[in-house]
């Protein structure tokens, strides 16, 4: 019985932390997470020890607790901690969003729709075809409403899986067709909302081949829990073969 109970406990302890990192910027994110969790755990522990001490300390009849010891000093320490954390924080979140990707980055449009992710590759001409809401029809094989009259859309690929070549920077452009969705790829340390009416960018570099789950991190409706996809990080050769296969399908 003990052994049977110990195995799930070991699994849950192992899974308590984040999954192994597979993105270049993930090292900095993990370092920041470890530091934040350690700092917050220390604050939690100290605050509770202080409370216990207040209960157990010998009481003097006339003395009220000093506001300096109970309020001002802890507040001052918190302010110092906050300033240190802000000054030493990795600026990785802003770097992935506010600084542009390198010109050679692979551009992919991510479209969220209740309850599906679509990944729109611009094709050989590197230009996205026009999308029109009135042309959206998943049943007719046009889930993001690509305009067949637009020549830029002729070579475009729309996929339900995100296939990426390893060690090449990817510039994702996110939009939503209905409500707010959240693109969440835990192994890529990537979480970014897709907002209706907005086109939001985030860029990153996958560094490990493999298949990683993609989730929706915003409760976007009754099918939110099944709004899942996966990203497949492959070698450049496999990626080019995948592109060629899909380009052929478009040409047929």
Alpha-carbon gap, residue 108 to 92, rounded angstroms: 21
Q: Which two tokens stand for residue 228?
A: 């899942």
Count, residues near Cu ion per rule CB under 5 A:
4
Contact between 108 and 170 under an 8 Å Cβ cutoff? The reply is yes
**227 is a contact residue toward Cu ion (CB under 5 A):** yes
Q: How far is the CB of 174 from Cu ion (least distance, A)?
A: 12
Q: How far is the CB of 142 from Cu ion (least distance, A)?
A: 20
Contact between 170 and 204 under an 8 Å Cβ cutoff? The reply is yes
Q: How far is the CB of 213 from Cu ion (least distance, A)?
A: 14
Candidate ranges 23-31, 90-98, 139-147, 216-224; the one touching Cu ion (CB under 5 A): 216-224
Q: Which is nearer to Cu ion, 112 or 153 (CB)?
A: 112
Which of 208, 203, 172 minimizes the C-alpha distance to 187? 208
**175 is a contact residue toward Cu ion (CB under 5 A):** no
Q: Which two tokens stand for residue 62?
A: 């006339």
Q: Which two tokens stand for residue 26?
A: 């993930």
**216 is a contact residue toward Cu ion (CB under 5 A):** yes
**194 is a contact residue toward Cu ion (CB under 5 A):** no
Q: How far is the CB of 227 from Cu ion (least distance, A)?
A: 4
Q: What is the CA radius of gyration of the chain?
A: 25
Alpha-carbon gap, residue 124 to 154, rounded angstroms: 10
Q: Which is nearer to Cu ion, 210 or 221 (CB)?
A: 221
Candidate ranges 72-80, 85-93, 206-214, 224-232; the one touching Cu ion (CB under 5 A): 224-232
Out of 25, 181, 203, 246, name the contact with Cu ion by CB under 5 A.
181
Return left, alpha or beta for 30; rule: phi > 0 is left, psi -120 to 50 is alpha, else beta. Answer: alpha
192 burial class (0-12, 13-18, 19+ CB within 10 angstroms)?
Answer: buried
Out of 23, 144, 194, 220, name the contact with Cu ion by CB under 5 A.
220
User: How many residues in total does the chain contain?
Assistant: 252
**185 is a contact residue toward Cu ion (CB under 5 A):** no
Q: Which is nearer to Cu ion, 93 or 184 (CB)?
A: 184
Interface positions with Cu ion (CB under 5 A): 181, 216, 220, 227
């Amino acid at each position: 019985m003990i052994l049977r109970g110990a195995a799930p406990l070991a699994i849950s302890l192992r899974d308590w932390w984040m999954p192994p990192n597979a993105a270049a910027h993930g090292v900095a994110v993990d370092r920041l997470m470890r530091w934040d969790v350690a700092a917050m755990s220390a604050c939690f522990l100290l605050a509770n020890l202080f409370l216990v001490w207040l209960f157990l300390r010998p009481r003097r009849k006339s003395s009220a607790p000093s506001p300096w010891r109970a309020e001002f000093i802890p507040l001052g320490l918190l302010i110092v901690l906050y300033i240190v954390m802000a000054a030493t924080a990795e600026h990785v979140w802003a770097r992935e969003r506010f600084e542009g990707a390198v010109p050679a980055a692979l551009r992919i449009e991510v479209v969220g729709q209740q309850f599906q992710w679509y990944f729109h590759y611009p094709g050989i001409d590197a230009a996205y075809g026009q999308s029109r809401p009135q042309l959206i029809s998943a049943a007719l094989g046009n889930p993001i409403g690509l305009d067949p009259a637009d020549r830029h859309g002729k070579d475009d690929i729309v996929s339900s899986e995100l296939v990426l070549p390893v060690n090449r920077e990817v510039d994702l452009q996110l939009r939503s067709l209905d409500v707010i969705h959240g693109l969440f790829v835990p192994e890529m340390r990537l979480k970014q909302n897709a907002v209706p009416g907005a086109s939001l960018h985030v860029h990153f570099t996958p560094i490990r081949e493999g298949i990683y789950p993609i989730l929706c991190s915003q409760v976007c409706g009754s099918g939110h829990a099944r709004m899942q996809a996966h990203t497949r990080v492959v070698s450049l050769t496999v990626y080019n073969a995948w592109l060629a296969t899909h380009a052929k399908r478009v040409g047929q």
